Amino acid sequence: MYAVVETGGKQIRVREGDVVEVEKCAGEAGEEITFDRVLCVAGDGVLLPGNPTVPGAVVVARVMAQTRGHKVIVFRYKAKVNYRRKTGHRQDLTRVRIVEIRDGRGPRDGGEVAEAEAAQSEQA
């Protein structure tokens, strides 16, 4: 099973057990955080696309570390006027391990999506 999660203005495809780096999120190492902006969930032959998100779907992750990305050099230059400025930037990141993907169809999530799918299959 995998999910597409939106966080920090980026979309990331994750599976249970994956270790990913995302834009900085609040939380210390060992704490669990949840991503509720789940755009798509797929697995077991079922694809649940969101509109824009999948209702009831949540991705649970455990914070492993608060880190910083590699340095990006920013060099500004204007020809013929002797203007040069060199600066750098390191983005704050959070390394997380994906613990669980809840697709919103199970009994612990309310089952609203499962009821909607059942109603659609009865109409077809």
Q: What are the residue boundaries of the structural domains of the chain, listed by start?
A: 2-123
Distance separating alpha carbons of residues 83 and 78, to the nearest angstrom:
5
Q: Give the best-scoring range by mean pLDDT among 26-35, 49-58, 70-79, 115-124.
A: 70-79
Is the predicted pLDDT of residue 96 greater than 60, yes or no?
A: yes
Mean pLDDT of 37-63: 89
Query: What percent of the chain has a predicted confidence (pLDDT) above 70?
Result: 85
d(CA 59, CA 101): 5
Higher pLDDT, 112 or 10: 10
Asked, as a colleague might, if the bond just before 49 is cis with ω within 30 of 0, I would say no
Average of per-residue pLDDT across 47-57: 88
Section 21-33 average pLDDT? 91
| Residue 122 banded pLDDT, cuts 50, 70, 90 | low
- Residue 106 pLDDT exceeds 80: no
Task: Give the Å distances, CA to CA, from 13 to 10, 18, 40, 55, 107.
Answer: 10, 10, 9, 18, 25
pLDDT of residue 117: 59
Give the pLDDT confidence score for residue 37 in this predicted structure: 92
Find, among 15, 58, 67, the residue nearest to 39 by Cα. 58
